[in-house]
Amino acid sequence: MAETASGSGVLAVPMTGGVALFGDRAGAPAGLDERGLADAAGAAIQRLFGRAVPVLYARQEHTRLTFTYSAGESLPPGPHLVGTCDALLTVEPWTTLAVRTADCLPVALAGGGAVAMVHAGWRGLAADVLGFTIGRLRAEFGVTPETLDAVVGVGIGPCHYEVGAEVVAALERQPVADGSWRGNGVVDLARFASVRLAALGLDPGRVQVLAGCTACSPRYHSYRRDGDPAGRQWNAVLLTEGLRPSSP
């Protein structure tokens, strides 16, 4: 799963059957609302693949609620609000699933002909949004964990994530592969996500964690760094029928 940077505010990571796309600050100026971010994701896909796609997005509430889209009819291109949830799933090619983040982790899953996009901050991880999403992939589409690729996008790094004991205690309730995610009053959320995915049955060799920290890097929006005026990144996954993004 090599990365390709398009140089236009989006990082494309090929996955089984599709691609995960991670927008950064250049691709999403501060001030875009949730619909505007979904629109920006759709515009990036149009640039990379030359086609207009529907982009599903949700009201995010740090829950473990999931939404599954199965086509009865084909959606028109553009943003579509699906309601409140923090993970979206589909098996429909070109139907794009998007979440927005500032310090929370975006986690893309793909395999067995399905994709899912997850918004995972510490609250969502403590509520086991990853376990619920992987459970839905199996229940709805028969996709087993060992057939999945995962890409954990950039969120807040341990360098900027001192937390209280209650956060550590909440995360510790989930079974994980090892304790490498916790330090002294510090949590590495991306590491937690990868050891949780391993405990859920994913092959650790197929879990890719993108390096970086939203609070460290001016390339990203960060709530912890910028406070209330902070913008948000968009993050998306879609099935592309074997097509790869055009080179920059």
Smaller CB separation from Zn ion, 216 or 243 = 216
155 near Zn ion, rule: CB under 5 A: no
154 near Zn ion, rule: CB under 5 A: no
- Contact set for Zn ion, span 63-102 (CB under 5 A): none
Task: Residue 107: name the closest of 89, 93, 91 by CA.
Answer: 89
What minimum distance in Å lies between the beta carbon of 61 and Zn ion? 25
What minimum distance in Å lies between the beta carbon of 119 and Zn ion? 20
Smaller CB separation from Zn ion, 36 or 158 = 158
**The two three-digit tokens of residue 21, written as one number:** 């796309």
What minimum distance in Å lies between the beta carbon of 157 and Zn ion? 4
Give every CB contact of residue 69 below 8 A, 6+ residues apart in sequence. 56, 82, 88, 89, 90, 92, 95, 97
How many residues at the interface with Zn ion, by CB under 5 A? 6
Give every CB contact of residue 89 below 8 A, 6+ residues apart in sequence. 66, 67, 68, 69, 97, 114, 115, 116, 133, 136, 137, 140, 141
How many of the other CB atoms lie within 10 Å of CB of 113? 15
218 near Zn ion, rule: CB under 5 A: no
Among 121-129, 133-141, 146-154, 209-217, the segment contacting Zn ion (CB under 5 A): 209-217
160 near Zn ion, rule: CB under 5 A: yes
Length of the chain: 248
The single residue among 176, 213, 236, 237 that binds Zn ion, judged by CB under 5 A, is 213
